[in-house]
Protein backbone atom coordinates (compact mmCIF):
# COMPACT_ATOMS: atom_id res chain seq x y z
CA UNK A 1 0.00 0.00 0.00
CA UNK A 2 1.35 3.42 -0.97
CA UNK A 3 1.35 5.84 1.94
CA UNK A 4 3.29 8.76 0.42
CA UNK A 5 1.40 12.05 0.39
CA UNK A 6 2.89 13.43 -2.81
CA UNK A 7 4.33 12.25 -6.11
CA UNK A 8 6.70 14.74 -7.71
CA UNK A 9 7.64 14.47 -11.37
CA UNK A 10 10.65 16.61 -12.20
CA UNK A 11 12.16 17.01 -15.65
CA UNK A 12 15.78 15.89 -15.85
CA UNK A 13 15.84 17.18 -19.41
CA UNK A 14 16.44 14.06 -21.42
CA UNK A 15 14.76 13.25 -24.72
CA UNK A 16 14.15 9.89 -26.31
CA UNK A 17 14.46 11.20 -29.85
CA UNK A 18 16.51 13.94 -31.49
CA UNK A 19 18.88 15.91 -29.26
CA UNK A 20 19.17 13.71 -26.16
CA UNK A 21 19.60 16.66 -23.82
CA UNK A 22 16.63 19.00 -23.56
CA UNK A 23 16.65 22.51 -22.21
CA UNK A 24 15.96 21.44 -18.62
CA UNK A 25 19.17 19.41 -18.73
CA UNK A 26 21.06 22.46 -19.98
CA UNK A 27 19.51 24.54 -17.20
CA UNK A 28 20.70 22.18 -14.47
CA UNK A 29 17.73 19.81 -14.32
CA UNK A 30 19.77 16.89 -13.00
CA UNK A 31 21.26 19.04 -10.23
CA UNK A 32 17.76 20.21 -9.32
CA UNK A 33 16.60 16.61 -8.96
CA UNK A 34 19.51 16.04 -6.56
CA UNK A 35 18.68 19.27 -4.71
CA UNK A 36 15.04 18.18 -4.33
CA UNK A 37 16.04 14.78 -2.93
CA UNK A 38 18.53 16.40 -0.51
CA UNK A 39 15.93 18.91 0.70
CA UNK A 40 13.42 16.12 1.32
CA UNK A 41 16.00 14.07 3.23
CA UNK A 42 17.01 17.11 5.29
CA UNK A 43 13.41 17.72 6.29
CA UNK A 44 12.74 14.02 6.88
CA UNK A 45 10.09 13.99 4.14
CA UNK A 46 11.49 11.16 2.03
CA UNK A 47 8.71 8.79 3.11
CA UNK A 48 6.02 11.36 2.27
CA UNK A 49 7.20 12.23 -1.23
CA UNK A 50 7.97 9.98 -4.18
CA UNK A 51 10.33 11.66 -6.67
CA UNK A 52 10.44 10.60 -10.32
CA UNK A 53 12.92 12.20 -12.68
CA UNK A 54 11.33 12.36 -16.12
CA UNK A 55 12.16 13.16 -19.69
CA UNK A 56 11.01 16.22 -21.64
CA UNK A 57 7.43 17.57 -21.30
CA UNK A 58 7.70 19.48 -24.55
CA UNK A 59 7.51 22.90 -22.92
CA UNK A 60 11.24 23.45 -22.49
CA UNK A 61 10.97 27.24 -22.63
CA UNK A 62 9.20 27.06 -19.25
CA UNK A 63 11.71 24.62 -17.76
CA UNK A 64 12.98 23.20 -15.60
CA UNK A 65 9.52 21.77 -14.87
CA UNK A 66 8.07 20.01 -11.82
CA UNK A 67 4.56 18.56 -11.39
CA UNK A 68 3.19 17.75 -7.93
CA UNK A 69 0.42 15.17 -7.46
CA UNK A 70 -2.22 14.61 -6.23
CA UNK A 71 -2.94 18.31 -6.80
CA UNK A 72 -1.58 18.27 -10.38
CA UNK A 73 0.24 21.55 -9.83
CA UNK A 74 2.81 22.54 -12.44
CA UNK A 75 5.82 24.62 -11.39
CA UNK A 76 8.30 26.02 -13.87
CA UNK A 77 11.52 27.93 -14.39
CA UNK A 78 12.87 26.22 -11.30
CA UNK A 79 16.11 26.98 -9.56
CA UNK A 80 17.52 25.88 -6.20
CA UNK A 81 15.76 28.66 -4.26
CA UNK A 82 12.40 27.76 -5.82
CA UNK A 83 12.94 24.08 -5.00
CA UNK A 84 13.52 25.04 -1.35
CA UNK A 85 10.36 27.15 -1.33
CA UNK A 86 8.22 24.41 -2.90
CA UNK A 87 9.54 21.79 -0.46
CA UNK A 88 8.92 24.05 2.53
CA UNK A 89 5.53 25.47 1.56
CA UNK A 90 3.89 22.76 -0.57
CA UNK A 91 5.47 19.42 0.37
CA UNK A 92 5.97 20.20 4.06
CA UNK A 93 3.34 22.87 4.68
CA UNK A 94 0.63 21.63 2.31
CA UNK A 95 0.15 25.03 0.65
CA UNK A 96 0.41 25.38 -3.12
CA UNK A 97 2.98 28.05 -4.08
CA UNK A 98 0.78 29.97 -6.50
CA UNK A 99 3.42 32.53 -7.47
CA UNK A 100 5.66 29.75 -8.85
CA UNK A 101 2.93 27.93 -10.79
CA UNK A 102 3.07 27.85 -14.58
CA UNK A 103 0.58 30.18 -16.22
S1 LIG B 1 13.64 19.25 -21.33
FE2 LIG B 1 12.30 19.67 -19.65
S3 LIG B 1 10.43 20.30 -20.60
FE4 LIG B 1 11.77 19.84 -22.25
Whether 22 is covered by a domain: the verdict is yes
pTM of the complete model beyond 0.75: yes
Q: Are strands 6-14 and 49-55 parallel, antiparallel or unpaired?
A: parallel
* Residue 16, in any domain of the structure: yes
Structural domain count, the chain:
1
**DSSP state, 101?**
B
65 pocket-lining for ligand 1 (C-beta < 6 Å): yes
Instruction: Give the CATH number of the domain where residue 86 resides.
Output: 3.40.30.10
The tens digit of pLDDT for each residue in 12-34 reads 887 776 777 778 888 888 899 99
Quote the domain boundaries for residue 38: 6-100
- Ramachandran angles phi, psi of 47, nearest 5°: -80, -20
The whole-angstrom separation of Cα 59 and Cα 35 is 22
Q: Taking residues 31-40, report their average pLDDT.
A: 96
Residue 1 lies in a domain: no
Residue 36 lies in a domain: yes
Give pLDDT, residue 15: 74
Instruction: Confirm whether 75 is domain-assigned.
Output: yes
Decide if 95 is inside a domain.
yes
pLDDT tens-digit readout, 53-63: 999 898 989 99
Which of 17, 18, 19, 22 is the best mutation target for the ligand 1 pocket, counting ligand atoms within 8 Å of the beta carbon and taking the most? 22
Amino acid sequence: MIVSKFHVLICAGTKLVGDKKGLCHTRGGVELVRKLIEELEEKDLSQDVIVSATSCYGICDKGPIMVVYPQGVWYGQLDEDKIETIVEEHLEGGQIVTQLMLK
